[in-house]
Amino acid sequence: MTKTRDAGHQFALFFADVSAVHHVVNGELMINDADMVRRISSILRLRPGDSLLLFDQQMHMEVVLLSLEKKKIICQIKNIKQNNIITPHITVWLPLLKREAFEHAIYSLVELGVNTIQLVSTAKEQRHWHGQKELNRLHNIMIAAAEQSKNFALPLLKEPRTLQELLLAKSGEKSLFFDVQGKPLLEVANACALQKNNAYIILVGPEGDLTESEKNQLRNDQFMFVHLTPTILRAQQAVAVGVGALRSLL
């Protein structure tokens, strides 16, 4: 039996469907996907005795590498667990930001454990949505964030809808909008903690902010305006600061 090595860092790798890409016999796992074999052997340079986490949308497992060959890797399964769904449920309405800021925001939201990312089209958006091609790219960014953060329950990513459509479809979730004219974050977070809401919607403005008409629509729909810092943040910074603070405090 191969002894587990004492390693300082345990890597996590995503499989599109764990049950479809491995064959299990007597607790042993065979990985023969060429790209996965290359990542484990040549990029991560793992060796027999190293442990590794493998995950998909529903579950994750810890394995110990037994043998590494050119076209396959044999592992011993140590445990299998369902992915942890972080609560309360947080849905972020994310505008279509410029590409670099947009991808940074998506990465941060996965790290912070949001449950749903609903893309939203606003009046001041400065680019077009590129459909399935862009969804695929964002999915890869989400996987990279999940591998780094070990938040294995990837958020549900939804294609863009207009702000008006989303407001019409919204139900009873506690709704927050990050805005420099809002109430202090700590005050709002303390009030939310006392109310013990099960679900939240969080909206951050696009580059150039929402229009005054859009903000009035939010007020009419009972959105609470929340002030994050004494300074004006870029959208991707507001996502990281605001969602991170709320996830920690709630």
Type of residue numbered 21: V
CA separation for the pair 181, 228 (Å, rounded): 10
pLDDT of residue 21: 47
Mean pLDDT of 175-189: 91
Give the pLDDT confidence of 89-118 residue by residue, as tens digits: 999 999 999 999 999 999 999 999 999 999
- Determine whether 210 is exposed, middle or buried from the number of CB atoms within 10 Å of its CB (0-12, 13-18, 19+): buried
| Residue 123 Cα distances to 31, 163, 232, angstroms | 48, 9, 20
Q: Which amino acid is at 183?
A: K
Give the whole-angstrom CA distance, residue 72 versus residue 61.
18
pLDDT of 81 reads: 87
* Mean pLDDT, residues 171-181: 91
Cα gap 41→23, rounded to integer Å: 19
Q: pLDDT tens for residues 128-140? A: 999 999 999 999 9
Q: Give the distance, in angstroms, between the CA of residue 88 and the centroid of all CA atoms in the same chain.
A: 15
Q: What is the pLDDT of residue 26?
A: 67
| CA gap 210, 215 in Å, rounded | 6
In the prediction, which pLDDT does 33 show? 87
User: Which of 110, 92, 94, 103 is closest to 202 using CA atoms?
Assistant: 92
β-pair type (59-68, 51-55): antiparallel
> Is 22 in a helix, a strand, or coil?
strand
pLDDT at 239 over 50: yes
Given a cut of 70, whether residue 4 has pLDDT beyond it is: no
25 pLDDT more than 70: no
Strand partners, 52: 63
Other CB atoms within 10 A of residue 70 CB: 9
Condensed to tens digits (0 to 9), the pLDDT of residues 50-93 reads 999 999 988 899 999 999 998 999 999 888 888 999 999 999 99
- The encoded tokens of residue 88 equal 């309360």
The pLDDT score that the predictor gives to residue 6 is 52
* Residue 98, pLDDT score: 93
